[in-house]
Amino acid sequence: MDTISTASTSAAGKQPIPFYTTRLVYVIYDTYIDFQGLVERIDFHKFFNMTFAEPVAAESNAPPRPGNSLELSLIAGQFVFLNNNADSGSTQLKWDAYQFQEQLLARLHIGDKLTITVAPGFLSFNDASSGGSPGPHGAIVSPAAMTGQTFANDGTLNNSQPFPVTQRDLNIILAPGDITYKIFGKPLSLFWDFAYNFSGNDRFNRDYGPLFSRYFYVERSATPSFSGRVQPRFSDDVAWSIPMR
């Protein structure tokens, strides 16, 4: 890690998750995940004194308990999401998939027992393939479609990897946070997380659709026809979670 100052840092290479997050966005089974790229962080509370209110007097001769304070940090990351083959003919296949995330992390400490954390942020990706293969007429085919598990949309609904064939139309507003209170010295936390993809309707229609609610056969045709196209709803673009520990 290259340290610019005690309040501003940068790092390059493979590193743990640099953001405040929950399992809603990143399913974390350990403290290390494969993030590869650049991270910059500025801790504003190290530039400026963000303490306020007087320290709370302690009993006997013990030092006073801390008053209130605010920690405020800006974190930005630029990561290689997937290294694609630069010799591929399709632009989406040859461009590497990149992930970009920015977060404003704020922690309000009230006394020595209560801490409130909010961390609004933004997560986006470039328009590139994520594990697809070249198909006919310049199409991108998902891994499952290559094994014969196909739908009308080239198998993007049942691909063997945890991502569709492309990372386009992913522009997600994030808002995780928690309230933590110490009881007998042990922290009790109520977490929440919220994510909204404001390009979700386009992603639904272009990568998961079109989907239809009904099918029928015309006379003796063996090929079904479809009607009642399903339109994306707000709930398709939103995810939220409220765990406690």
User: Which stretch of 85-94, 118-127, 222-231, 236-245 has the lowest confidence by average pLDDT?
Assistant: 85-94
More confident residue, 38 or 169: 38
pLDDT band for position 100 (cuts 50, 70, 90) = very high
Distance between CA atoms of residues 216 and 118, nearest Å: 50
pLDDT at 8 over 80: yes
Of 77, 74, 79, residue with least CA distance to 34 = 79
Distance between CA atoms of residues 238 and 234, nearest Å: 7
- The whole-number pLDDT of residue 2 equals 41
pTM across the whole model: 0.73
Residue reference for tokens 């790229």? 37
Q: pLDDT tens digit string along 131-187? A: 666 666 556 665 554 444 444 444 444 444 445 567 888 899 999 999 999 998 899
Average pLDDT value over all residues in the chain: 78
- At 216, list the tokens: 């029928």
Average pLDDT in the 1-12 region?
Answer: 66
Distance between CA atoms of residues 69 and 62, nearest Å: 20
